Structure 1
Amino acid sequence: MLETSARLLRLLSLLQSRRDWTGPELAERLNVTARTVRRDVERLRALGYPVHAAPGTAGGYRLGAGAALPPLLLDDEEAVAVALCLRTGAGGTVEGVEETSVRALAKLEQVLPSRLRHRVQSMQAITVQPRRGGGPTVGQQVLTVLGAACRDRERLRFDYLDHGGAASRRTVEPYRLVHHGRRWYLLAYDVDRADWRTFRADRIEPKSPTGPRFTPRELPEDAAAYVAKGVTSRAYRYQAVIVLHTSADSLAQYNWSGFGTITARDDLSCELRTGFESLDALAMYVGMLGVHFEIKEPPEFADHLRAVAARLSRAADAAEPPRAGVSPAGR
């Protein structure tokens, strides 16, 4: 009886870890026969777990949605990860999760073994969270819909507002949700435009139902890197490529998230790719780095810098010189 109960818990854990399982896959994982798997599935159903089955060679088992949330079976690493995420939830960018995060964390910590509770508390003690800014937040329901569509590989329709405020209806194949620069982005293949696109989740209004399911395409590159490039350059009027005459490591003090990407060229130089709505803002940003640089793109940036340099030079020449014996700071 104990062996059967342990196997049922293991079967439930497997059904929670993946959307679809075939009978032979479950039998191999549990080291039992397919007939035993069928019997165990019936036992789970008798306990109230909605395990759905599809016949045939392409069929299998899937844990469906029930009237209540079934017990979640987490290994040590999963439990620690969930606890840490809940602890930091109050300072995140998902709207309305603060109170529910606290309630869920209280339930989880109540049943955590002492060794895991100590790990969570130790990690939290040395973790410094950034102050929550006044930027846009995204609703829990929106993230849930986007995440489910990515997981189930179902087409998604939504209304979207771009950075200029223009509205459009999009039909996409969603692939990844990416958190970058304290915002959530959806990386998806835009069906109507036949190209990859990055969408800000807080500007998405999903439409139901989702579907049909699609065959996955090969991603253009790492999802996080693709989104970083998109939100730091492609969405802006001016897209800049600047060679900085310093090592990439020397610029590690700057927080590039949401502003640009740095790629090392050699030990003494690196390449900055970024984007801005105005050349004045780009000039101020690059000038504040305090290093020599070369302009690769855009070509009009060089003329703009000459105009800025002339304006600054005139201001310096026209400045009133300090009186004798009085330092500029003391005036």
Structure 2
Amino acid sequence: MLSSQDNVNISFYQPPAFLMIGIPGLEAIHGWISIPFSSMYTVALTGNCLILLAIVRTSSLHQPMYYFLSMLALTDMGLTMSTLPTTLAVLWFDQRFIGFNPCLIQMFFLHSFSVVESSVLLAMSFDRFVAISNPLHYATILTNNIIIRIGMAIVARATLSLFPVPFLLKRLNFCPGKILLSHSFCFHADVMKRACADITVNILYGLYVVLSTVGVDSLLIVLSYALILHTVMGLASPRERVRALNTCVSHILAVLVFYIPVIGVSMIHRFGRHLPHIVHSLVAYLYLVVPPVLNPIIYSVKSKHIRKAMLKVLRGKGQN
């Protein structure tokens, strides 16, 4: 005969592990799909490492703009490493199981680095505004001490925002038959839907995190560029206007590369439930894999100073 304690234990269930699909409907060709994914991960890690080394080894790049770029490179490496182990394990070795607690840890870091990336892009827009609107006091406003404080605030913001999420999931009761995840990593919205319980609190808190971080950041970035345009239009010379705007091109492209997939993921999770699972999966991969791949390419192509410094690193030479 079961005791009351046994009944409590039976009524509350958390799976020991989740089963990751990978890319739904394409399981038979995961080996082939692993080739472009492996290439993208290699480009992302190599490109961002080169940017970091170029900035560290080149004294002429020890400026606020490039310090923020190094933060972006570090964040992109963290975002890449958050999904790389499980994605390649699924595609290469068909290792689809991930433990419940490791899944929550991966989810925390994955979403934390996303929030950090959004915050860094906002800081970079502020950097461009200061550089264009007040160039004579640029170095005195964005001192090394201020940049360190901004970096610490960005990390603290992401950590505090995402810290409750794993605990909100651990309190939920899950169904024994619902352990199939739609991706090769743990995504909050995906894990949350596997619960057989009221997930209203999780939905509301997830919405709050998105609006208070990525949502607020995007609005402030738009405001920053509105102020930048106002300042640029006040410049007398058309050549000065073009030169000022040209310093923002790389950052604008990085913002678009990050926010367009973010908007796509949000729209699909809210309104695209009728769409095939493969669409959800591919948009999520675009959101997590593409920005770390493209950001080093954007900055190496658009910034002559970064390109030269990266070439010096590849040749094994230092630069003053």
User: TM-score w.r.t. structure 1 length?
Assistant: 0.24
Greater relative contact order structure (CA < 8 Å, 6+ sep): 2
Larger radius of gyration: 1
Higher helix residue share: 2
